[in-house]
Amino acid sequence: MKSIYILPCFLMFGALSSCQGNDDIVQLFPDKLESYNTINPITDVTFHDGRPFSADNTLDNKNSLAVPTEGVLMQGFYWDVPAGGNWWNILKGKLTDWSKAGIGAVWLPPVSKAQNGALSMGYDPTDYYDFGEHNQNGNIETRFGSRVELEALITKAHAEKIKVYADIVINHNSGGQLEKNPFTGTDTWTNFSGIASGKFPRNYNDFYKNSHGTNDEGAFGGFPDLCHANPYVQDWLWGREDSVGKYYKNVMKFDGWRFDYVKGFGSWVVNAWNKNVGGFSVGELWDSNVDTLEGWANNANSSVFDFAAFYKMDEAFDNGNLNALKDDMMWKRNPFRAVTFVSNHDTDIINNKMLAYAYIFSHEGYPTIFYRDYEEWLNKDELNNLIWIHNNKATGTTSILHVDQDEYIARRNGYNGNPGLIIYINGSSNWQERWVDTHWENKQLKDFTGHSSWYPTTETDKRVKIQCPPNSYSIWSIDQ
């Protein structure tokens, strides 16, 4: 969630920014469902609960057997993308190349009309059903384009086998008109009865404080705080056939949801949305505490962004202490519900990004790549290579083989005939070499990153010596 600046109450501009159900486990891991169900019923999943690594240093993610078939998630925007209504067309033009690279889903910014109209990034929503077709809030199109262009983008994405996730902002609204509010004794900006779409009209009783209570988990930035306890609000968000959720899924053809600022309302809200609407979901719970992330994900029946891993990667790769990667992270607790990331539109603190991307693309969880990292700032060929490695080699549970301040080595143990991989991260200024344990006997390996020219062969005891260049990484697997 971006920091905001509130102008006088008569003119609030939205300089704002800002989980995964059982069906989505099937969508993301269809090749593992049969074996998965022989371990635990899919409705009663248990994972690593914070216990120490087992004797062989294998993380207790006993059900993490395969790689998500979605590939990699692209965050398809950044803060203050160019205004002018052309962003949907820009993204549409990139989809074919993204699909070829192995990107399986794209997350879009909030798609509906917001208070700041053609200048808004969408995080100050006014009319959830105006996708750039009504002359409202000073413009017809949104900052990103028209409804026709948005639908063309989604259609093209699906033709390229890319799923599309919508950013859902339901903590707060903005752009209403003044009305007398008996619960505050003042006039409040809570009259949304005149919205152009005519869908989901709202008044003071649909925002806190009201007849349903004084407040919920958290308001944001002084904006009217939507009251999810109100059955009317619930019905319009996910209950009725033309609710926001069902309209976005069935009419606009979105495949999933990124829920903004979930600290602002109970996890039951996302759970109810997922139960009634379906589709992939991930919550923005900005908290590095793994217990908090795991608890929310379980209660919401949703994925969650792995902020614990995000901050540990910053400590490891920018502060020269790879021992931080020993610490607990959401992907270690429950890889099915962990969406990993290196940067996004709200926060971009990791400087040594290639090491971080090598980490998330080789490990468990559902990795996200940031638009500007991919399209503008980093080496696209190197990122495409990591995406290929993720989609083709990064399978199975994770075993931590060696960690110290300068070196980190982990093994993905493979699944269903896929041999897995070994990743070696070197934070020092010198080449490093180390003998490691593999699952492969008398097999020739290669570094699929091309950073090392070695082609070592594993011994009869399945050990092998691998190497890694300074301040870089290598990723090893069977040469096939």
Whole-number Cα distances in Å, 225 to 24, 62, 121, 137, 210:
30, 41, 19, 20, 11
Q: How many CA atoms lie within 13 A of 176 on its CB side?
A: 25
Place of tokens 């983008």: 153
d(CA 401, CA 405): 14
Catalytic residue, candidates 149, 160, 225, 284: 284
CB 358 within 8 A of CB 408: no
Q: Is 171 annotated in some ligand binding site?
A: yes
Supply the DSSP symbol for 257. Answer: E
Place of tokens 């069902």: 246
Supply the DSSP symbol for 51. Answer: P
Residue 244, exposed/middle/buried by CB under 10 A (0-12, 13-18, 19+)? buried
Task: Return the number of other C-beta atoms located less than 10 Å from residue 214's C-beta.
Answer: 8
d(CA 88, CA 217): 34
> DSSP characters for 147-181?
HHHHHHHHHHHHHTT-EEEEEE--SB---PEEEEE
Whether 141 is catalytic: no
Catalytic residue, candidates 216, 255, 260, 306: 260
Measured at the CA of 214, the angle between CA 211 and CA 220, to 5 degrees, comes to 120
| Strands 421-426 and 407-412, bridge-based pairing | antiparallel
d(CA 208, CA 262): 16
CB 306 within 8 A of CB 338: yes
Supply the DSSP symbol for 109. Answer: P
Q: For residue 438, give the H/E element and its range.
A: none
| 156 preceded by a cis bond (ω within 30 of 0) | no
Measured at the CA of 131, the angle between CA 126 and CA 134, to 5 degrees, comes to 75
d(CA 361, CA 395): 11
Q: Which amino acid is at 46?
A: T
Among candidates 369, 279, 280, 295, which has minimal Cα distance to 330? 295
Q: Is 235 annotated in some ligand binding site?
A: yes
d(CA 179, CA 68): 49
Structure tokens at 263: 């600290």
Q: How many CA atoms lie within 13 A of 440 on its CB side?
A: 26
Whether 160 is catalytic: no
Which residues are catalytically annotated?
Answer: 260, 284
Binding residues for Ca(2+): 171, 235
